[in-house]
Amino acid sequence: MRSDLMKGGPSRAPQRSLLRALGLSDMELTRPFIGVVCSKSDYIPGHKHLGEIAEAVKAGIRNAGGVPFEFETIGVCDGLAMGHQGMKYSLCSRELIADSIEVMLTAHPLDAVVFIPNCDKIVPGMVMAACRLNLPSIFVSGGPMLPGKHKDTRFGLSEMFEAVGSYASGKIDLDELTDMEKSACPSCGSCSGMYTANSMNCLTEAIGLALPGNGSIPAVMSARTALAKQAGERIMELLKQDLRPKDILNEKAFENALRSDMALGCSSNTVLHLLAIAYEAGVNVTMDLIDEISKTTPQLCKLNPASEVFITDLNEVGGIQSVLKELAKAGLVHTDIPTVSGTVGERMEHYPAADGQVIRTVENAFRKDGGIAILKGNIAPEGAVVKQGAVAPEMMVHSGPARCFNCEEDASEAILGGKIKAGDVVIIRYEGPKGGPGMREMLQPTAAITGMGLGASVALITDGRFSGATRGASIGHVSPEAAAGGVIALIEDDDIIDINITERKLDVRVSEEELAERKKRWKAPEKELTGYIKRYAQHVTSGSRGAVFEK
């Protein structure tokens, strides 16, 4: 056992004496040591209950003859960090999480690991660490939040952000805004729509690292606690089988995850995270591959914020396994590859067929291609990302004058101040991985646009990124970013921007000669940076590569 590096043989008597100080018995010292990596914290709704999930995991480990050891990681709540400088630290926390787990599990060698994440960057950060360490591993999330309710209509956090725009434009008063505030988030769990947290928890199940139900069983259900206990028991079987993450995360597994991503209409952030996870796993996943899979995968689900259907509704009709089952009917899923609990095909056998409404059939899909599209053109020669499944039909093709801003705050002020008009294309730049630094999410300005009634007439383009809660013609991850001298830095007010999501094109109507002249005059704004964010800016790569660090 790997843990014998610190507890086996006469030479490890000093280490065993320290372990005995924890209260371990002679029998426990002979058993496998299992890590339980949890992201519990007191101020993230998605993580507040993870202590209870961890206790269930540890009970399962003990049931199966292991000795659990829990430690916690950091985690940023994107909702709380949104709209201010704190969001610069969200994406960059992903690398810190992966690094800190590597430190803990290398300094204290254990035999296998159960990971307990629940929110945006914590899930991919933990998966990256699992790839890096390649110990037998399993994931169990804390589960999604229940949707809120306002005037007999269910809603989530995305509508709450949009309500700020509605209030600014006089569509609702302060009393209604406050009523919505008090009912938007009625329970613990990851925010209720198909935002980034739920997207990543669903994809962790689809890729094979989590048990069925991981992505969709609500946080408050006893079935979630039972699932955690089962994960603790299952890790002991994975240890006996010596089944490791890199045995599961092959090219076919990533294709399955990407097919699921497109069918579910997941957050655009999944592109960043799947690229980063593939980088750690040593699997070649590119923006071109993602777009190729998007073009050949139907969108079967349209979940909030794209509709009033929520992740809890998906759970009631079979969840991720039923989505995979429908894709498999069309030959779009690899069913013969391993997961943490049998093959892909064996797992889906026990789940119902598509219900035809929450999960549509391939023949009656919401769209013939996937929920995410990769756009290219002179603005984004390396690619840009849009959640096309949540774009209004009239905005799939759009041309309009640029309104340029060099930071999110200036754009939000202009939007809420009524300075953006129907037809405009808002450009927010110097918010990329290096330029932000940290590639902030732009939910606040996109929600304000929607809340003010401009969602079907105004587009937004950024080298930053968007929350999974964003809807509308919101195009992010523009690469190369402005800070690297990308064309997005050279766009000027009133330049005409041509967006054709159907044909995957994104261009500015300016000649190459004029862009070359502008490039000669261009100089990136200087930012005073200190601490971790400064080191992050020095080492991070572009969004088109997953914003990873060079190895």
Residues marked as catalytic? 467
Coil, strand, or helix at residue 270? helix
Coil, strand, or helix at residue 202? helix
Spatial distance between the Cα atoms of 348 and 328, rounded to a whole number of angstroms = 9
Place of tokens 């009239």: 394
Spatial distance between the Cα atoms of 292 and 37, rounded to a whole number of angstroms = 35
Q: Which amino acid is at 159?
A: E
Contact 480, 382 (CB under 8 A): yes
Please measure the distance between the N-terminal and C-terminal CA atoms of the chain and give it in whole angstroms.
29
The helix or strand, by DSSP H or E, that contains position 35, with its residue range, turns out to be strand 33-38
Apex 473 CA angle, 370 and 431, nearest 5: 105
Place of tokens 């110990």: 135
Spatial distance between the Cα atoms of 7 and 35, rounded to a whole number of angstroms = 15
Angle between helices 251-264 and 287-295 (to 10 degrees): 60
Spatial distance between the Cα atoms of 469 and 304, rounded to a whole number of angstroms = 8
Beta-carbon contacts of 292 under 8 Å, excluding residues fewer than 6 positions away, are none
Closest C-alpha to 198, from 334, 84, 315: 315
Report CA dihedral (379, 384, 388, 390) to the nearest 10 degrees. -100
User: Which two structure tokens, joined as six digits, stand for 281?
Assistant: 């796993």
Beta-carbon contacts of 29 under 8 Å, excluding residues fewer than 6 positions away, are 7, 16, 19, 20
